[in-house]
């Protein structure tokens, strides 16, 4: 195995980890936003009933 192949393996591994962390962070943000919207909708529904 030559140096170029080793460098490519390392770069692919690092990029894979970085991309997965980015995807997980985006999914977390989306779920927070969705939860907040649901809470606001429920609050508006209780306000209408009052």
- Separation of alpha carbons 16 and 18, rounded Å: 5
Q: Which two tokens stand for residue 49?
A: 């009933």
For the chain, give me the number of helices (H) and strands (E)?
A: 1, 0
Query: How far apart are the two ends of the chain, measured CA to CA in Å?
Result: 72
Which residue shows structure tokens 């170029």? 4
Tell me the pLDDT tens digit for each residue of 1-50: 899 999 999 999 999 999 999 999 999 998 888 776 666 666 666 666 65
> Which tokens hold the place of 24?
């997980």
At residue 11's C-alpha, the angle toward residues 9 and 3, to 5°, is 55
The predicted model scores a pTM of 0.58
């Amino acid at each position: 195995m030559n140096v170029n192949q080793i460098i490519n393996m390392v770069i692919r591994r690092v990029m894979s980890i970085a991309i997965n962390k980015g995807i997980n962070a985006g999914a977390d943000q989306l779920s927070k936003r969705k939860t907040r919207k649901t809470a606001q909708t429920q609050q508006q529904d209780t306000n209408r009933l009052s």
